[in-house]
Amino acid sequence: MSDYIREKQRRWQEERQREADEEAKRKAEREAAEAQKRKEAIERKKLLREQKEAERLRQKRLQEKEKLESERIGKQVDALISKLEEDKRLRENVRLQEIQIIIQNREPYFGVLDWRAWLSDPLNKRLADLDFEYAVQIFKRDNLMASRRHRTRGKRRLENNYALSFSGDRAGATDSYATTTFNPDTYELWNGFTISFWVRPDEEMNQKSVILGSRASSPVARFHFGFSGAGDNNIGIGVGGNDVTGINNPMEVGRWYNWVVSYTGTQGSAGNRKLRLWVNTDARMTNNNSTSWNNQDEGMTMYFGGRNTEGSGYTSGFACALDEVAIYNRCIDSEGTFANEVYNGGVNYDHQSNGQSGLVGYWKFNEGTGISIRDHTDNGNDGTFGAIAGQTTAFPIWELLPLSGY
């Protein structure tokens, strides 16, 4: 029996020894693996430090290179600016000398001329090219002297000069406006247009308001002109979201202003569909504004004194006076020459005899009585006073203006 027990113990001890050996082996393997991991981590950190240092040195070299290049370019720019300034001084001297020669060689005018006729003289045209503001002053002086010589010769005399005033749609206003049958789509204004009108603000421009225009419920046929709070211009043309806002418009209540807006047309590429605005010849919007106008006949007609919105009719009315609205179905120019011509012509400017083609709507507002406004083109899109919700007394008001102008 004792031999048996001793054999069992021996086998048990051998089993325990094997287990101990295996555990020692596994422990050694774990320790070796952990040591390898630590070694690899140390190597990764070292590599990362080396990469960061290499990148730092590369960036430093790039900065030094950029600094040297910047200094080189700066010297070239300074030299170029110096040359341009010298060239500018030389050109200015030549310009002033040419202006003096023109003034010395001009013949006196004995009749009052409009701006277009005055520019037909090559010397006057060259003077306007050299110094537009000075040319305008000479133009005014010529007409003043001519009018003193001949009080009535050469001047278009008006039998009357009326404008139409609207109450706007603020609280307490009578919501007056006028409707027309003018549909911008009928004359394909998406291919380009020019609109000119005179407006006198009669309320502060601190809310969304419209001088004239229309808008479809689906925003693809906007055609309205007004403001978007704090006096910023708001011109909605074609596709919604293209209202041109944020252009400060410091118009004073009670004073007259001439607006000329042109659009080059949707047929151009996206970057060339330009909207431009001049207020009293001041370029408020030139080459940085574009829009798109889908070729879809929305059947909208234009209102004066507010906007004709599909589904709701008169909206966004503006308290103002309106006069001499002219619409052309082409972009007349992109430099402001036409805007200067209209502004300087003032009350005497006639869109029917100015030599420009494409006049598709022209309302002079000189009726003075009644409830209709004649369209002086052959298209016959006359305007008619409109009243809101049966308020038959809520009509625009005729205002008699001086024949001398605004």
pTM of the full predicted structure? 0.61
Do both 141 and 219 map to the same domain?
Answer: no
C-beta separation of 200 from 257 below 8 A: yes
Chain centroid to CA 60: 44
- Establish if 282 belongs to a structural domain: yes
- Establish if 98 belongs to a structural domain: no
C-beta separation of 322 from 382 below 8 A: no
Do both 301 and 382 map to the same domain?
Answer: yes
Number of Cα atoms under 13 Å in the Cβ half of residue 186: 14
Do both 18 and 111 map to the same domain?
Answer: no
Residue 241's pLDDT band, with cuts at 50, 70 and 90, is very low
Do both 112 and 203 map to the same domain?
Answer: no
Name the token pair of 154: 């050469």
Instruction: Please say if the pLDDT value at position 99 is more than 90.
Output: no
3-state secondary structure of 32: helix
- Establish if 405 belongs to a structural domain: no
Q: Render the burial of 113-141: b for 16+ CB within 10 Å, e for the rest.
A: bbbbebbeeeebeebbeebeeebbebbee
Rg (CA), the chain: 39
Do both 78 and 129 map to the same domain?
Answer: no
Do both 29 and 70 map to the same domain?
Answer: yes
* pLDDT tens for each residue of 325-360: 999 999 997 778 899 999 988 888 999 988 899 999
Instruction: Please say if the pLDDT value at position 21 is more than 60.
Output: yes
C-beta separation of 326 from 345 below 8 A: no
Q: Which domain holds residue 310?
A: 163-400
Which one is predicted more confidently, 311 or 346? 346
* pLDDT tens for each residue of 205-225: 777 787 877 776 665 678 888
- Establish if 273 belongs to a structural domain: yes
Instruction: Please say if the pLDDT value at position 142 is more than 80.
Output: no
Instruction: Give the C-alpha separation, 212 to 218, whole Å.
Output: 19
Residue 364: which CATH number? 2.60.120.200
Do both 228 and 328 map to the same domain?
Answer: yes
State the DSSP code for 190: G
C-beta separation of 315 from 307 below 8 A: yes
Do both 132 and 261 map to the same domain?
Answer: no
Do both 9 and 128 map to the same domain?
Answer: no
C-beta separation of 128 from 268 below 8 A: no
- Establish if 25 belongs to a structural domain: yes
Residue 194's pLDDT band, with cuts at 50, 70 and 90, is very high
Which one is predicted more confidently, 248 or 191? 191
Count, residues in the chain: 406
Do both 292 and 363 map to the same domain?
Answer: yes
- Establish if 101 belongs to a structural domain: no
Max distance between CA atoms of the chain, in angstroms, equals: 157
**How confident is the model over 385-396, as a mean pLDDT?**
61
Do both 87 and 191 map to the same domain?
Answer: no
Residue 240's pLDDT band, with cuts at 50, 70 and 90, is low
Instruction: Please say if the pLDDT value at position 324 is more than 90.
Output: yes
Do both 366 and 303 map to the same domain?
Answer: yes
Instruction: Give the C-alpha separation, 300 to 236, whole Å.
Output: 14
- Establish if 51 belongs to a structural domain: yes
* Strands 208-215 and 307-309, bridge-based pairing: parallel
Type of residue numbered 20: A
Q: How many structural domains is the chain composed of?
A: 3
- Specify whether the backbone of 14 is left (phi greater than 0), alpha (psi in -120 to 50) or beta: alpha
3-state secondary structure 136-168: HHHHHHHHHHHHHHCCCCCCCCCCCCEEEEEEC
- Establish if 208 belongs to a structural domain: yes
- Rounded to 5°, angle at Cα 66 from 64 and 69: 110
C-beta separation of 321 from 328 below 8 A: no
Using the 3D structure, point to which of 50, 72, 93 is the last residue of a domain.
93
Instruction: Please say if the pLDDT value at position 6 is more than 90.
Output: no
